[in-house]
Structure 1
Amino acid sequence: MKKLSILVLLIPFITFSYQGFSVEATTNLTKDPNYNTIYNAMTHLKSSVMIKKNGHEIDVFNQVLDDHPEIFYINYEKTLIWSNGKLEIVYNGSTKTIKAQIASLNKKINAIYNRSKAKSTRDKIKDFHDYIIDHAKFDYTNYQKGTIPESSYNAYGVLVKGVGVCQGYADSMKLLLNKAKIPNYFVVGTANNEPHAWNLVKVGSRFYHVDTTWDDPITSSGKPIKTYRYFMMNDSQMKKDHRWNPKNYPRAI
Structure 2
Amino acid sequence: MMKENNYYYNQMDKRQQKAYQAMRTGLCSLAPSFPVPWLETGELNDIYFRLRLDHPEIFWTSGFRYRYYPDSENVELMPDYLFKKNKIMEHQKAMEARVRKLAGQAEKLDEKGKELFIHDFICQNVRYDKLKKAYSHEIIGPLGQGVGVCEGIAKAVKILCDTLGIWCMIALSGSNPEKGIKYRHAWNVVRLGGTYYHLDATFDNTISKEHGIRYDYYNLSDGQIFRDHEPVIWKVPVCDDGAHSYYREKKLTFTKYEDVRKRSAQAAKKGREFVFQWRGGYLTKEVLKELLAILEEEAEKQGKYALLSLNWPQAVLRISFEASVPENQIVVEEQNPELAEGDMPQNVEEAE
TM-score, normalised to structure 1, is 0.79
Task: Return the alpha-carbon distance in structure 2 between the equivalents of residues 247 and 52 of structure 1.
Answer: 22
Secondary structure (helix, strand or coil) at the match of 1:214 reads helix
Q: Which residue of 1 aligns with 2:220?
A: 233
- 2:161 paired with 1:171: no
Corresponding residue pairs, total: 222
Structure 1 residues 88 and 138 mapped into 2: Cα distance closer, same or farther (>3 Å)?
Answer: same
Q: Which residue of 2 aligns with 1:157?
A: 141
Task: Return the alpha-carbon distance in structure 2 between the equivalents of residues 120 and 234 of structure 1.
Answer: 22
Structure 1 position 29, deviation (Å): 6.3
Q: In terms of Rg, which structure is larger?
A: 2
Amino acid in the other structure paired with 2:81: Y
Q: Which residue of 2 aligns with 1:59?
A: 46
Task: Return the alpha-carbon distance in structure 2 between the equivalents of residues 31 and 247 of structure 1.
Answer: 15
CA contact (8 A) 1:23 1:249 kept: no
Amino acid in the other structure paired with 1:52: P
Task: Name which of 196, 199, 203 aligns with 1:207.
Answer: 196
Structure 1 residues 30 and 111 mapped into 2: Cα distance closer, same or farther (>3 Å)?
Answer: farther
Secondary structure (helix, strand or coil) at the match of 2:20 reads helix
CA contact (8 A) 2:8 2:54 kept: no
Secondary structure (helix, strand or coil) at the match of 2:97 reads helix
Alpha-carbon displacement from aligned partner over 1:57-114 (angstroms, at most 9, x marks no partner): 33322221121111111142xx212113111123112111111111111111111110
Secondary structure (helix, strand or coil) at the match of 1:93 reads coil
Structure 1 stretches of at least 4 aligned residues deviating more than 6 Å after TM superposition: 22-25
Question: Which deviates more, 189-198 or 173-182?
Answer: 189-198
For residues 40-119 of structure 1, the aligned pairs below 5 Å read 40-55=25-40, 56-76=43-63, 79-84=64-69, 85-119=75-109
Task: Return the alpha-carbon distance in structure 1 between the equivalents of residues 120 and 50 of structure 2.
Answer: 27
Task: Name which of 122, 131, 135 aligns with 1:132.
Answer: 122
Structure 1 residues 202 and 27 mapped into 2: Cα distance closer, same or farther (>3 Å)?
Answer: farther
Structure 1 residues not aligned, in runs of 5+? 1-21, 143-147
Structure 1 position 174, deviation (Å): 0.9
Amino acid in the other structure paired with 2:143: L
Structure 1 residues 248 and 107 mapped into 2: Cα distance closer, same or farther (>3 Å)?
Answer: same
Q: Which residue of 2 aligns with 1:36?
A: 21
In percent, how many aligned pairs have the same letter?
Answer: 23
Structure 2 residues not aligned, in runs of 5+? 1-6, 70-74, 241-352
Alpha-carbon displacement from aligned partner over 1:207-240 (angstroms, at most 9, x marks no partner): 0011111111257xx6363111111111111122
TM-score, normalised to structure 2, is 0.58
Structure 1 position 190, deviation (Å): 5.6
Secondary structure (helix, strand or coil) at the match of 2:204 reads coil
Question: Which deviates more, 81-90 or 48-57?
Answer: 48-57
Secondary structure (helix, strand or coil) at the match of 2:11 reads helix
